[in-house]
Every structure is written in C-alpha cells, then in structure tokens.
Amino acid sequence: IKKIGVLTSGGDAPGMNAAIRAVVRSCSYFDVECVGIYRGYQGLIEGDFEVLTARSVRNIINKGGTFLKSARSKEFRTVEGRAKAFQKLKDAGIDALVVIGGDGTFTGAIYLEDEHGIPIVGIPGTIDNDINGTDYTIGYDTALNTVVDAIDKIRDTASSHDRLFLVEVMGRDAGDIALNAGVGAGAEEILIPEEDMGVERMMESLEKSRKTGKTSSIIVVAEGEKSGKNIFELAEYIGEKMVDYDIRVSVLGHIQRGGAPSCYDRVLASKLGVGAVEAVLRGESGVMVGITNKIVTSVDFNTAIKGTRPLDKELRRVLTITTV
C-alpha cells in the first residue's frame, strides 16, 4: 500500500477532525502518502482530492465538524456512480481507503469494495452510537455533554415556571443519546425508538410524581420514539388529557452535532485513526475498527451495521428508581 485516501461521510460528528488528523499522521509515520477526499462519496465521484501531509492537519484536533466536509451522496448509491468513483481512485493511484462515518458510510463501502475490490477500512463517526463492534462512536460523548448542558438550562425555566418540558434529541433508530443524556440530566421520563413505554403509563407516572410534590418535569424524547406522534402532537395530546399542565416543547436539533470535541472523543478518534491505518497496512479490508474494553479491534462492516444492539436495561431501572 503506497497511497491511502481518507474521507468523512454522512452526518458530521465532533471528533471527525481528530480522526482525520490521526489517519494523516499515521500515514506520515508509516511512510505512506495520504490523500484527503472532500465531501465524502460525492467528492470521490468528482475527484475532489488533495494530498495531505502531517502539517496539513495542524490545529484541527480541537475543532468540531469535518474540514474535509461531508455529504450524503445519492449518485454513489448507483452502480454507475461507484464505477466513476473507482475510476477516480485509480487515476489518483489511491490503493486503499479509510472512511469515517456511520451505517450509511459503511453500506457504501461494502458496495464499493464488492464491485471494485479496493481495500477499505472504516472508523465509526456518528453522534448516534448506533454501530455494533465498538463501545462508543466518535462524537457521541460530545453530543451527550451538549444535550446535558442544554437540558440543565431548560431545567431552570421548567423549575421557575412549574412547567412540563418535552425535549427532543437526535436518534432516529437509536435511543442512546436520549437514555444516557436523560439520566445524566435528571429527566423524569425518556422515550426511545427501541421500546414503546406507552404514553398513558407516562402520564400516570407524571401524575403520581405531582402528588408527591413535583412541580416541574422534563421528558426526553428521541426523534424516532414509538408513540407514532411527533413531539408537537405528543405535547398537544398530553395537554388535552392533563389540562392544568403548562407544557412546552424544545427541539435541540443540530446543536447536538456541533462544537469542540470532548477529550474522550479526541482520544477515541486518535486511537481509531491510528488503528485504521495499521489495519490497512496489515492487509485488512471490509472492516471497521472499534473500541472494545479500551482495545482497538476490527469487525466486518456487515456486523457493524446489522442487527440491534442490546439496550442498556440497567439504565432504565436506574431511571425508574431515581425518579421515584
């Protein structure tokens, strides 16, 4: 392997820059040329490349977002798009790829590798923490801290005005952000995509708490939760049943994806960036590097993106006990 390409794809996540930096510097350390590919798979199709040296990635370890930019490419989902992308790689003499992203990124990598045989190693970068084969994904820890910080602020108003707040956090298919930030921020109830806890049960529990003297409450709602209502419909529904509650909705949105990465995410990204280049140089392909019990391990892309990860049942129990 003489030349490795690196790209970030899908939703950006804090720590992606630290991962790129580690990939570029590992290439430098092992005497391999590194090429940055801008705008994910779309930039790959268009040949939007730049040679990166160890100095190209100075002063980025602390920056949110991704300096290589990211995209969700429709064209790359086609056989023709991937053929164009492979041709660009061939023309540039790139003989392996490191892709940083989530399940969509790894799905694209599976196709590209199957159709064209180019070695690809993935790094999990997504705030969702919804990837198998790694204890944590890059960006998740920072996002959790952002959410907890935001809910702490909302709590001030909830408490001052005796209000019930519904706070929406990201996670279309995974409740990790909701569950962990919810427990960390002292939420009363947490609704997640993985299980339907029932809106009626939730309202009963809110009533019970009120009878014991609770005057304000926070409910954390993951985007993909199971009630079948969006957060505004949910607030309206609760408002119709519990007429004397003063209810407000707060959608945190993309603030969860931005900001300087936490120390944890920087260290994780650095470990996985080095691990990915070492995996490529060992001849591995079609795998993602992840962290399990602090050790960098490889897992094939299909395992990384398929199947449901077990829910942290203990956290549910802790929530029930601590919100009594």
**Which residue in the block uniquely carries the two structure tokens 């120390």?**
263
Rg value, the chain, Cα: 22
Two tokens, residue 195:
């299980």
Residue 133 three-state SS: coil
Residue 173 or 284: the one with the smaller Cβ distance to ligand F6P is: 173
Which region, judged by CB under 6 A, interacts with ligand F6P, from 59-67, 109-117, 170-178, 239-247? 170-178
| 128 labelled catalytic | yes
Catalytically annotated residue among 128, 130, 141, 265: 128
Contacts of 56 (CB under 8 A, 6+ apart): 24, 36, 50
In the complex, minimum distance from the CB of residue 270 to ligand F6P, in angstroms, rounded to a whole number: 22
Residue 170 or 291: the one with the smaller Cβ distance to ligand F6P is: 170
Establish if 182 lies at the interface with ligand F6P (CB under 6 A).
no
User: Was 171 annotated as part of a binding site?
Assistant: yes
Establish if 175 lies at the interface with ligand F6P (CB under 6 A).
no
Residue 182 three-state SS: helix
Establish if 176 lies at the interface with ligand F6P (CB under 6 A).
no
Establish if 171 lies at the interface with ligand F6P (CB under 6 A).
yes
Question: Which member of 172, 201, 306, 317 binds ligand F6P (CB under 6 A)?
Answer: 172
Distance, CA of 224 to CA of 239 (rounded, Å):
21
User: Was 72 annotated as part of a binding site?
Assistant: yes
User: Was 24 annotated as part of a binding site?
Assistant: yes
Among 300, 303, 276, CA closest to 138: 276
Establish if 261 lies at the interface with ligand F6P (CB under 6 A).
no
- Compute φ and ψ for 230, nearest 5 degrees: -80, 170
**Which residue in the block uniquely carries the two structure tokens 């549910």?**
316
The C-alpha angle 39, 172, 77, rounded to 5 degrees, equals: 40
How far apart, in Å, are the Cα atoms of 174 and each of 140, 180, 220, 239? Answer: 12, 11, 13, 27
Which region, judged by CB under 6 A, interacts with ligand F6P, from 16-24, 168-176, 262-270, 306-314? 168-176
Establish if 107 lies at the interface with ligand F6P (CB under 6 A).
no
Establish if 11 lies at the interface with ligand F6P (CB under 6 A).
yes
User: Was 73 annotated as part of a binding site?
Assistant: yes
Other residues' Cβ atoms within 10 Å of the Cβ of residue 50: 12
Two tokens, residue 93:
């003499």
Establish if 170 lies at the interface with ligand F6P (CB under 6 A).
yes
Distance, CA of 101 to CA of 74 (rounded, Å):
16
Distance, CA of 117 to CA of 203 (rounded, Å):
54
Scan residues 121-160 and list those touching ligand F6P (CB under 6 A): 126-128
Question: Which member of 5, 102, 182, 275 binds ligand F6P (CB under 6 A)?
Answer: 102
Residues that bind ligand F6P (CB under 6 A): 11, 102, 126-128, 170-172, 223, 257
Binding site feature residues for Mg(2+): 103
Binding site feature residues: 11, 21-25, 72-73, 102-105, 126-128, 155, 163, 170-172, 186-188, 214-216, 223, 248, 254-257
Catalytic residues: 128
